[in-house]
Amino acid sequence: NAGVTQTPKFQVLKTGQSMTLQCAQDMNHEYMSWYRQDPGMGLRLIHYSVGAGITDQGEVPNGYNVSRSTTEDFPLRLLSAAPSQTSVYFCASSKGWGDTFQETQYFGPGTRLLVL
């Protein structure tokens, strides 16, 4: 299994440009999520999905869109990039949530985004 893959690894955008960060997992996981991590800070949840066709907002959703048309893929779209969106973006997936414990989240390698 490749696990969780993210593309691109690094991207430079100009203010106002749009782009899509790709995330895919081959573990048949129901739950997928996107986080951003700014220097010296923890991860903040942007959007998440509990299954194909179902998405919801996290802590910092403004400026981002997501969709989940398949179990495997969960792309994150930046509608109009701003310098404040310069960050490292991580995608994660898990089986879902067990009845008696929290399932482990598996993270991708991250995408570094620089908005000029």
Q: SS3 for 83?
A: helix
Residues 6+ apart with CB under 8 A from 100: none
**Which of 59, 62, 114, 116 is the binder for other proteins (CB under 8 A)?**
59
Nearer to other proteins, 17 or 50 (CB): 50
Question: Footprint of other proteins on residues 4-33 (CB under 8 A)?
Answer: 4, 31
CB 73 within 8 A of CB 49: no
Out of 35, 64, 87, 115, the only residue in the binding site for other proteins (CB under 8 A) is 35
Rounded to whole angstroms, the Cα distance separating 82 from 65 reads: 14
The binding track of 60-89 with respect to other proteins, each residue x by CB under 8 A or -, is ------------------------------
The binder of other proteins chosen from 21, 81, 92, 113 (CB under 8 A): 92
What does the buried/exposed string (b/e) look like for 78-102 if buried means 16 or more CB atoms within 10 Å of the residue's CB?
beebeeebbbbbbbbbbeeeeeeee
The only residue of 58, 61, 63, 75 in contact with other proteins, by rule CB under 8 A: 58
